[in-house]
Structures are given as C-alpha cells and as structure tokens.
Structure 1
Amino acid sequence: MRVEALIFDKDGTLFDFAATWGAFGRAVLLRLSEGDTSQAAKLGKVVGFDFAQGCYQGDSVVIAGTVSEVADALIPHLKGYDHSELVGILNRESALAEQVPAVPLGPFLSNLRQTGLKLGVATNDGEMPAVQHLRSMGIRDYFDFVAGYDSGHGFKPGPGQLLAFANHVKINPSQIAMVGDSRHDLEAGRAAGMTTIGVLTGVAPAEVLEPLADVVLPDIGYIAGWLSSK
C-alpha cells in the first residue's frame, strides 16, 4: 500500500542527536548544579549522560523519555526545586538549544510536500520547545501536525500521537510511515499499524532498530529513494 504521510520523531531523526543535545546536557546540568562540575557529573550519571565526554548512554532517559520523566529522575538529587518548576526549566532550556539538522531540512521537506505527502512530528519533548525548534530552522510550516508528550495524545511508545496525526490528516494508519531513531519510536509505529522507518542519526545502532523496522536508513535523506523503490 502506498505511503501517503510521514510522521517524524524530532531529536535524533530530524535533528542529529549527539550534535544537538551534548552541549545542551552540559549547559543545563551546570545550571542546575550552580556551576559545580562535580555535582553536574553526578547528575549526568542519574540521567545516563557522560558529562566529561558530552555523550549519552543508549538507555538514557533523555533519549526517549519525556521531560517529566527526566525531571522525575533528577529531582531526588536536587534541593530547592519542585517537579513543575524543574519541568519548566528543562522546557525553557530545551527551547533555546541550537538544533543541528540531520540533513538540509528545507529542501528535504519541500521535496516531500511536492510529492503530495502529509507530514507530522511526534516527540516526547514538550510541544512548546518542539514548535520553537521547528520555527528556529524555518520549517514549522511544512508540518500539518506537531505533538509533544504534553499535547494530550499520550507519548511514545504509546500510539496516541501517531493515531491523532492519522485522524488529523484523514489518512489510514496503514498508509503512514513512522520515522524514528529509537525503539520507542518504532514500537509506537507498530502499535499504530504504520510502516516503520529507522534512522541512524540517534544513539541506537542498526541491530537495535532492525527487529522493529521495515527498513533502517542512514538518515532521513534516504527516505524519498526508499519510497520510490517500493
């Protein structure tokens, strides 16, 4: 069946995960630690982030978890913050993080739209920072739908965001492909009854994605060629 729509994860899919979020991780942990690098390193271990190297472990809550889940992990190790305040700080800091595209996104998305595909974003980031990231790159208007973990549709690996997109664009889920860099993304796609496309611009290697993916590609730039070959 022809794919008529694509819904993308954001971090690690539209944007290169390591290049974007390594610097962010160091900056936000230093802020929460009031500049104490030793404490920042300890907080990094809590969320699966190597502060010295600026990189994330494969099972880091930051990779596939929600902002609320990141706050849940951090708050027992912080003084003077409540949960909602910490979520707000993480969302605001995230919104300011400089995004590094996985591919030149304007031409890529324009080409997909010209073929008639509907496009969406489903992220476990908050909706506000997600929209800000897309706007900062000048690509928000290419997307028919953007959902974060706090948009009212649930969050991945649940299928709620994906099914909300299908309903929004009036396309059967079987004619939609979910594109992501983590098991959570592909599990959500499977649960929604969609084609699943894994990409390698996140942390997960191909062997982790392959059991849940119809195809694993180096990055999203290969999608058009793959669709045309089907």
Structure 2
Amino acid sequence: MTIEALIFDKDGTLFDFHKTWSAWADTALMDFADADPEIYHRAADAFGFDTRTKRFRPDSPVIAGTLIDVADLLTSLRPEMPRPRLISWLEQSSHSVPQIEVTPLWPLLTAFRQQGLRLAVMTNDSEEPARAHLRQAGIADLFDIVIGADSGFGAKPDAAPLQAIARMLKIRATDAAVIGDSLHDLHAARSAGMTAIGVLTGLATAEDLAEAADLILPDISHLPAWLDPPSAPSETP
C-alpha cells in the first residue's frame, strides 16, 4: 500500500479535545446563560457537558458536530438571540482558544513533508477558526489544504469533503489516509475509499472506533512507525 497524503481531523486529533475545549465550554456556557443557573445546566445538558467533572461526555454531539449543529443545540434556550448572532458568538468565542497539541506538531508534520507526503486538514469546525488554530500552533503553512464544514464541500461523515481533497491534491482516494478521533471521521474515510485511522486523543475509546477503523493508534506520534515499519531481520542461512 502506498500512502501519498495524510488528511487530519483537527480537534481530538491534532489537538487534545478535553485539554483544549472543556475549560472553554464551561466558560462559554455560563456566558451564554448570562449567569442564569437553569439555562446554564440546560445548555450543558444539550452540549453533553458534565458540569460536575467539567468534561464533555463521550456521547456529546459537540465532538463531531459543525458550528451550525452546535448552535442548533442552544437556539431554543435563548429565543431572543437570533440564530446568526448565536453562530457568530460561537465562532468568535472559540477563535482564540489555546490549542493543546497532542504531541509536538511542527517536527512531526515537517518530517512528513520531508518524506514527500501531502498534508491536509478536514474539520467539522468552520474553516477560519480552524486556520486560526493552526496558525496559533505555528503549523498552518505545513498543510496543502485546510477545509471546514463551511467550505462548500459538506461535512463528515459524508465522503464529499475528503473526495474534494483528493481531487485538489490530484491523488487517488486509495492513496490517502484519514486520521481522526471519531466515528464521523472514520465513516467518512471508509465511504471515500481511504484508509481509516483512529486515534485515542478525543473522547472515543478503541472499542468505540473498532467497527470503522483500519487501524487504531494511541495518537498521531505513532504514524511514522506505521508508515515505515521496521524491516524484519533477515534469516541467517
């Protein structure tokens, strides 16, 4: 098997989901509720956010949802806030959230580039916040393509955005691997005819991902060993 391109999810794959987003969620939900405890708890329940542990639950719809999906979880709780304003607020509040890398990203991604691999990001986040997070980490220029759910190609678990990346890179789908932390990522990869690699830096367990993964790794730092496995020792006659 020849792999020419690696297509990464963002949250939970390049960046640790809990360490990056749980603190933001608690503050953002309180801000959304305007300090009203009832609205805060109802919003947290809609988010799949545990207010006691201050962590997202594994079944949270936020994990793989788009910005519009997330906004739709909240619209009924603050009907006086127009939906476009709510979407704009979510985008702005998440734009500058410090991203916690799952492993030092710059040397890892640079090594992939030096091997001749093409790199892309396909996230169900919006494109501009995604680019801002990559710039914040100093890795934006290492990617050939960055697209989000609002880039005009659809969102995961649909295969269309991954197929669009393959067309833009001028490669066959079978020559790309998709790396993600959710079933949305892996189902999209399978539907697109790409290798589906699960990582455990989101909230899903290996058991959760097993049904759709060709391979499960602890995190993306294990990709080099998969791409270039050590040769078996030759037998001595």
CA displacement at 1:168 relative to structure 2: 1.0
Which residue identity is paired with 1:222?
Answer: H
Report % sequence identity: 46
Is 1:154 aligned to 2:142, yes or no? no
In structure 2, C-alpha distance between the alignment counterparts of 1:36 and 1:146, rounded to whole Å: 38
The answer to which structure has the higher helix fraction is 1
Higher mean alpha-carbon deviation, 36-45 vs 90-99, is at 36-45
For 2:138, the equivalent position in structure 1 comes to: 138
Q: d(CA) in 2 for partners of 1:12 and 1:84?
A: 27
Q: What is the match of residue 210 of structure 1?
A: 210
CA contact (8 A) 1:186 1:197 kept: yes
TM-score (normalised: structure 2):
0.94
Q: Does the CA contact (< 8 Å) of 2:39 and 2:77 recur in 1? A: no
Worse overlay, 77-86 or 97-106: 77-86
Aligned residue type for 1:150: D
Give the structure 2 partner of residue 185 of structure 1: 185
Deviation by residue 1:56-95 (Cα, 9 ceiling, x = unmatched): 1122111011110111111111132111111111111111
Q: Distance in 2 between matches of 1:155 and 1:11?
A: 14
- The number of residue pairs the alignment matches comes to 230
Q: Does 1:219 align with 2:208?
A: no
For residues 192 and 164 of structure 2, the distance between their equivalents in structure 1, rounded to whole angstroms, comes to: 10
The equivalent of 2:235 in structure 1 is none
Q: Which residue of 2 aligns with 1:53?
A: 53
Distance 1:120 1:145 in 2: 5
Partner of 1:118: 118
**Aligned equivalents of 1:131 and 1:36: distance in 2?**
33
Q: Displacement of 1:197 after TM fit? A: 0.6
Q: Distance in 1 between matches of 2:83 and 2:38?
A: 23
Match of 1:84 in 2: 84
1:42 Cα offset (Å): 2.0
Which residue type is aligned with residue 108 of structure 2? F
- 2:176 aligns to what? 176
Aligned mates of 1:141, 1:198 — CA distance in 2:
24
Query: Which residue of 1 is the match for residue 24 of structure 2?
Result: 24
**DSSP 3-state at the match of 1:101:** coil
Shift of 1:158: 0.2
Normalised by the length of structure 1, the TM-score is 0.97
Gaps of 5+ in 2: 231-237
Structure 1 stretches of 4+ moved >3 Å: none
Point out the structure with max Rg over C-alpha: 2
Identify the residue that residue 109 of structure 1 maps to in structure 2. 109
Root-mean-square deviation (CA), in Å?
1.1
Structure-2 residue corresponding to 1:199: 199
